[in-house]
Structure 1
């Protein structure tokens, strides 16, 4: 049995006044609270990425209506705005951090907006939020040479392990980009499962290293959000995104070919 399809919600910044760099993929705090209330009203039970993957891997029980609430990058609003709402509903979530963007000793100053610090990340972990990896500097992993790819993954895992005392077991690909080579490297680095984007429901048949998510944006109305979590009209909602993704994938593959040719010259 493949099991039910599961909505995996992908959030980035949750902020009242995001900057231009994060505006499109941000969500207003009031909208986030309304979306979480809808999940509760409709009987969804949030689980972490690790819990879903382990349930599918082992065939163990999952709640009747599982859903994943995931946050990428590590924006400060996850602590300020989301943590109280998650706590109010008793919801689990997964946070995927780019370790060079988290404020502290490893901060490279390249973060696009105000980020969490490690004390806030620890508070989130203490409340049951799963902390996963999202690379060290947030590059397009499939464009990196093998050594740089491995360095990004190992550095991320080492920093999270050092700061939290526990190694992360789940990963989310920056920009959603991966390849067979990237997925193999993620597995070999010690991550047990990984999330892509895809803008579709997650299914066991996708395998533990290519689970799909749906993007929640500032423009996502509560009516559209309801359709997404119920698995209705997803293809129509993200038709433009998929067309752009396919076009950009062709451009990126051409870049890889040119890079490979230059390296042989």
Structure 2
């Protein structure tokens, strides 16, 4: 039997006053609360990334009408604004942290807005929020040399394990960028599954290291949100995004080819 597709929602910041760097991908707290109420009203069942992948891997049935709620980077508003709403509904979620952006001993700066600290990450982990990896410094992983790529993946995994006492099972690619080489490195590092972007529904046939998500943005109204979680008109709603993504992918591939050529001459 073919598995039904699953909407994986990708959030970033939840904030009343986002800065310019995060504004487009920041969701207002009131909008987030309305969106979570929408999931509850429509009978969707939020599950963690690990639970979805494990279900598809084993063939065990998933809860009725599963949906994933995911957050990237590690912004403080996930704890301040999103966690109380998730707790109110009893919803599971997944937070993918860039460990070098989280406040604390490993903070390398670079966070685009106010970031979580490790005490807040631990509180989230204790409240049914799966903590996954999102690299150490949030680079474009497919543009890195092999040694730098391994460092980003391993360092992220080690820090999460040290801070939380458990090894992260799930990963999300910064900017959504990956390649066959990156996906293999993620697998070898020990992550059991990984999420891309793609702005489409997740399907089992995508494989555990290339599951697609749909982006929830500040401009996502409740009617568009309902279409996303029901898998309706996604191609139309993200048509402009797809054109821009394809164009930028060509530019990035050309840059990568040039870098390889330069390195081969050195």
Question: Do these two structures clear the TM 0.5 threshold for a shared fold by scoring above it?
Answer: yes
How far does the alpha carbon of each residue in 1:214-260 deviate from its partner, in whole angstroms, 9 at most, with x for none? 00000000000000000000000001100001000000000111011
Deviation at 1:2, TM superposition (A): 3.1
Q: How does 1:8-87 map to 2 (within 5 A)?
A: 8-87=8-87
- Report the counterpart of residue 96 of structure 1 in structure 2: 96
Say if 1:2 and 1:203, in contact at 8 Å, map to a contact too. no
Aligned position for 2:239: 239
For 2:196, what is the secondary structure of its paired residue? strand
1:47-99 CA-partner distances (Å, limit 9, x unpaired): 00000000000000101100000000000000000000000000000000000
Q: Classify the secondary structure of the residue corresponding to 2:68.
A: strand
Please give the residue correspondences for 1:1-265 in structure 2 after superposition, counting only pairs within 5 Å: 1-265=1-265
The alignment's TM-score, normalised by the length of structure 1, stands at 0.99
Output the aligned Cα RMSD.
Answer: 0.4
1:228 is paired with a residue whose SS is helix
How big is each residue's C-alpha offset from its partner over 1:5-29, in whole Å with a ceiling of 9 and x where there is no partner?
0000000000000000000000000
* TM-score, scaled relative to structure 2: 0.99
Query: Size of the alignment, in residue pairs?
Result: 265
SS at the partner of 1:100?
helix
- SS class of match (2:213): strand
* Unpaired segments ≥5 residues, structure 1: none
Contact 1:2–1:205 (Cα < 8 Å) also in 2 = no
Give structure 1 regions of 4+ aligned residues with deviation exceeding 3 angstroms. Answer: none
* Deviation for aligned residue 1:109: 1.6
Cα distance in structure 2, aligned partners of 1:133 and 1:20: 25
Cα distance in structure 1, aligned partners of 2:226 and 2:132: 26
Distance 1:62 1:226 in 2: 21
